[in-house]
Amino acid sequence: MNKWHLIKYMIGTVVVVNIILFIAILLLFITIFLCELSHRSNECETGEILGDLPTWLTAMVAIFSVIYAKKAFYKQSEAIVLQKKVARRVSFDTTFTQIFAQHSILYKKAQDSSTNHCCFAAFRDFFGEQVKKTTITNKDIWENYNKKIEENSGKEGASNFKNYFKYIYIEVNYIEEEAKEADLDESIQKRYVRLIEGQMNNDELFCYLVNLLEYYEKNTDNQKLISYFKYLKQNAFFKEICKTDGYKDDVKKAFNLLNESCPNTVRNSLIEQKWLESTENHKIGLPY
């Protein structure tokens, strides 16, 4: 039985039960009223009153039976709803576990196994050199770096690097889209998102930040992207690098490369300004 059939069945049952309850109560009052009327007219003998007693008792039994059946129905309905919630949560956990297991696999594929070159750490150095140019954007830096990877590791290497960040979006987006169906409140969603963030070091997080900013530069009217930014901010995805010495300055530079009309809008959608203004020092590699 699918969800809509179950809902219609439950509504129909509630309606029928209420109708039966109403009829039973109505019969009870009619019986009492007729007997009282007859008694007042001196036409109701004691035997007649006693003769109506079984009818009255039958009506009472019917009422209590209906009430009991109604309670049993509600309990059964609650059990069905709870069972469905548990099933949806188990389904979510199973799928998320499978998706999450691919994260480390894709991370390894993004590395240059022939030279043991870490593409993520090298990007930060590359960014530091490129940002010194007079006219440069996040899009330019990202594209230039991917060309460099392709020169050193071939098209497959460049593709693996870009696919790694696409997969992060898939992981986070899955949590957001399935939250209502799997009955995940905000605190539970945050735990799942932070599992993904916890798998990434600061170099990866900085790469992903620039990747998102360069994608925004190509899709400034994409409201779904801004919504995704806000979801990352809600779950403090980039809080670590915003509060860590060294990375904090690079984060500011990346936002400053955006068009003058939008850096504040994008920054406020993606991070909390107070993360960058914090005077608390965080050492690289240590949790805050």
Q: Chain-wide mean pLDDT for the chain? A: 80
Tell me what percent of the residues of the chain surpass a pLDDT of 90. Answer: 43
pLDDT digits (tens, 9 = 90+) for 110-137: 886 655 668 899 999 999 999 999 889 9
Q: Are residues 54 and 179 in the same domain?
A: no
Q: Which domain holds residue 36?
A: 3-83
Domain-embedded: residue 96: no
pLDDT digits (tens, 9 = 90+) for 254-274: 999 987 656 678 888 999 989
Domain-embedded: residue 286: no
Domain-embedded: residue 92: no
Domain-embedded: residue 248: yes
Q: Are residues 157 and 214 in the same domain?
A: yes
Domain-embedded: residue 288: no
Tally the domains of the chain. 2
Q: Are residues 79 and 115 in the same domain?
A: no
Higher pLDDT pick, 24 / 100: 100
Domain-embedded: residue 272: yes
Q: Are residues 78 and 116 in the same domain?
A: no
pLDDT digits (tens, 9 = 90+) for 144-174: 999 999 988 889 888 999 999 999 999 999 9
Q: Are residues 163 and 258 in the same domain?
A: yes
Give the pLDDT of residue 118: 83
173-212 in b/e burial notation, b at 16+ Cβ within 10 A? ebbbebbeebebeeeebbebbeebbeebbbbbbbbbbbbb
For the entire predicted model, the pTM comes to 0.71
